[in-house]
Amino acid sequence: KTRLLQESLEILLKNKYRIISFIGSEKDSAFSVLKEIVYFLYEVPRDEILTEMQNDSTLTEAISENQAAHQAYQLVKKMRKAFTEQNIIDFIDNFFDIIFEKLSSGKIALVTDNVQYFGKPLSYFIKKYLMYSKNQICKNTSAVFLSFNMDYITEDSKELLEFVQELEPDFYHFKS
């Protein structure tokens, strides 16, 4: 499965896709993964993130010269207050339509190996994005690649896999 993902990455790169790639592990934090997705989609350089963090910690009112960095940091700051799995899911429901729109508006691929380790919030994020994509009127050029190891699958990831398989007939280019 990893070799197949690697070959897929090469095809995506040839077709000029920007790639968000994760390898799931048992210790993954939904906050950390979602934060990286936000910063990637807003194209925030690390030094801008640091500037925003420093401004925040010193209570400066200075607005970053990079408005995208400021917006991304403010979104992540709000997300940081979501302490439970349900809070993160609620946050996705309330604030992530803009993330889904950014993800679907460009040639961006979300590539995830070992999805079986993702908990409820990350599985929910993927489900919600797939539903957003399915119901979108505008052209969507994004790609989602998910790899599951069936030997270690959890209930949450099994639900996600079943959800993806149910969606397959709705996407002409969808393969499970």
pLDDT digits (tens, 9 = 90+) for 146-161: 988 888 888 888 999 9
What does pTM read for this prediction? 0.84
Q: Write out pLDDT tens, residues 52-104.
A: 666 665 444 544 556 777 788 788 888 888 888 899 999 999 999 999 999 99
CB 7 within 8 A of CB 36: no
What pLDDT sits at residue 127? 94
Given a cut of 60, whether residue 13 has pLDDT beyond it is: yes
Q: Taking the CA atoms of 101, 139, 6 and 146 in sequence, report the sign of the dihedral they define.
A: positive
Tokens of 130: 């797939």
